[in-house]
Amino acid sequence: MERKKRLALNTSTSLLYQVVTIICGFILPRLILKSFGSEVNGLVNSITQFLAIISFLELGVGAVIQSSLYKPLAEKDDEQISRVIVSGQKFFSKLAKILTAYVVILMVSYPFIANQKFGFVYTATMIGVMSISSFAQYYFGIINSLLLTSDQKGYVSYISQTVTLVMNTAACFMLIKLGSGIHVVKLVTSLIYAIRPLILAIYVRRHYNLNWNIKYTEEPIKQKWNGVAQHVSAVILDGTDNIVLTIFSNLKDVSIYSVYSIVTSGVKQLLLSMTNGIQALIGEMWAKQELDELKEFFGWIEWILHTGTILIFGITSALIVPFVEVYTKGISDVNYVQPLFAILIVIANAGHCLRLPYNIMILAGGHYKQTQNNYIIASALNIIISVIAVKAWGLVGVATGTVIAMFYQTVWMAWYDSKNLIKWPFKKFLKQIFVDVVIVVLVHLIINLYFVKTWFEMKSVTYVSWIFLAVKISILVVLISVVINTIFYRTHIRSVVKKSINKIKK
């Protein structure tokens, strides 16, 4: 299967998975909120983040394994592939054992460190049932998923994830409607998600000529521990906020954060899904040193990701508060309308997507050790600012920490790529950021003009009214984006229009 077809298949299946994730992500939290209340919803999301802390101990080895597989996969070197996979599996098997010990410690300690009103047994058993799928992932699933992604066959993983996600949503919907407790619902979720790694294990054993008993004298995964900073940074930037809120605030704030995250994380993952095949492709080009082709491809990826991010998050920034109003209608135990926090969390997630092309290049090029200080500083900024600001500003405080860390990291990565790797000019990044800012500012200026402001308001707190508003906002953002990009990126726009016309003619 040629590169373009693999990229298209990976992108389409990943996109399908993210769309299904977003839909299911709206259904289940709403059911939990209505059936069990905001504090139970906060508890579930808090435990999820505490369980995610174990991924700290992955120490970035997963990303390094992917980088180590690009060359042997390109050369079809089965022996070297086997060495990397066997070494990686040994690491993740040890991590699964550590996870078991961590879960026991968490079951004992979490009920005392979290600001929550539930009993010890209630909370500890919740942690136990929610940890089952995490154990299955580390023991059976991660190494096979890394192999498939590196070989540009991520579509196998995305299809299995989509199927199990739909199964889980249907099962949980029925259980909640039948009056089952939250523990039963989460136990069923864990058992269904444990099916995923088994599917991947069967596929890999049937389609790859791996020698699981291979011996090696030299560590096959080069720079094995040099991905630590990148990985820890990613975990902190994604998971710190909920943990800080759990310890220094309360579960109601965690619930508010989780509701806004349904939207922002869904949109972010939608954009990430479009890049899932790109890193493997860039990694292959870098391994073969096809630098001219790589530079041209990178230029397009930068523009597409920036344009897509600003387009989607520009729409999100105007629609997120009205959506939350509709989504939480009838739930009165907490005030979910938080406009300033909404803007900050949108900016933070948009920043995560804007840094993607530069981060992908660093990971595909295997520059882990050279870039680790950037990741350490970003992590420190996020933690320190969040912990200091949460007491005074609550949700706004933790979001501020994430925004500042993302801004620093995005600029640093773009600068690093301009000086190293493919030598991408930093002025091109600055131009792209300028265009991004102009589009967003124009959108919000027009929306808030006094003589058109009423056009961009919901007439009632209903999904129908929100959909009408979404259509108007989307048209406005698309029009402004097209006009501004035509001015600054005329060649790109012409190329997109030409390709679109050719496809329509065919």
CA distance 98 to 418: 40
- Average pLDDT, stretch 132-161? 81
Q: Quote the pLDDT of residue 235.
A: 65
Sequential DSSP letters for 19-33: HHHHHHHHHHHHHHH
Mean pLDDT of 249-255: 80
Domain ranges of the chain: 1-225, 227-434
* pLDDT at res. 149: 82
What's the whole-number mean pLDDT along residues 223-247? 68
pLDDT digits (tens, 9 = 90+) for 306-323: 999 999 999 999 999 999
pLDDT value at position 226? 58
Q: Quick one: CA dihedral 130, 101, 398, 347, positive or negative?
A: negative
pLDDT of amino acid 55:
62
Q: DSSP string covering 158-191, please?
A: HHHHHHHHHHHHHHHHHHHHTT--HHHHHHHHHH
User: How does pLDDT run across 20-47, given as a tens digit for each residue?
Assistant: 888 888 888 888 888 888 888 888 888 8
At residue 338, the 3 state secondary structure works out as: coil
The answer to whether residues 473 and 317 touch, using CB atoms and an 8 Å cutoff, is no
Query: What b-and-e string marks burial along 94-111, b requiring 16 or more CB atoms within 10 Å of the CB?
Result: ebbeebeebbeebbeebb
Confidence class of residue 54 from pLDDT cuts 50, 70 and 90?
A: low
Is a pLDDT exceeding 70 seen at residue 418? yes
Among residues 193, 146, 252, the alpha carbon closest in space to that of 51 is found at 193
Q: How many CB atoms lie within 10 A of CB 471?
A: 10
Spatial contact of 280 and 150, defined as CB atoms under 8 Å apart: yes
Q: Please report which confidence band the pLDDT of residue 501 belongs to, taking 50, 70 and 90 as the band edges.
A: confident
Q: Which pLDDT value is given to residue 106?
A: 85
Task: Flag whether pLDDT at 476 surpasses 90.
Answer: yes
What pLDDT, on the 0 to 100 scale, is given for residue 230?
A: 64
CB 303 within 8 A of CB 492: yes
Name the band, by pLDDT with cuts 50, 70 and 90, for residue 442: very high
Amino acid identity, position 417: D
Question: pLDDT at residue 262 above 60?
Answer: yes
CB of 483 closer than 8 Å to CB of 490:
no
* Model confidence at 102: pLDDT above 60: yes
Lowest mean pLDDT among 18-27, 109-118, 254-263: 109-118
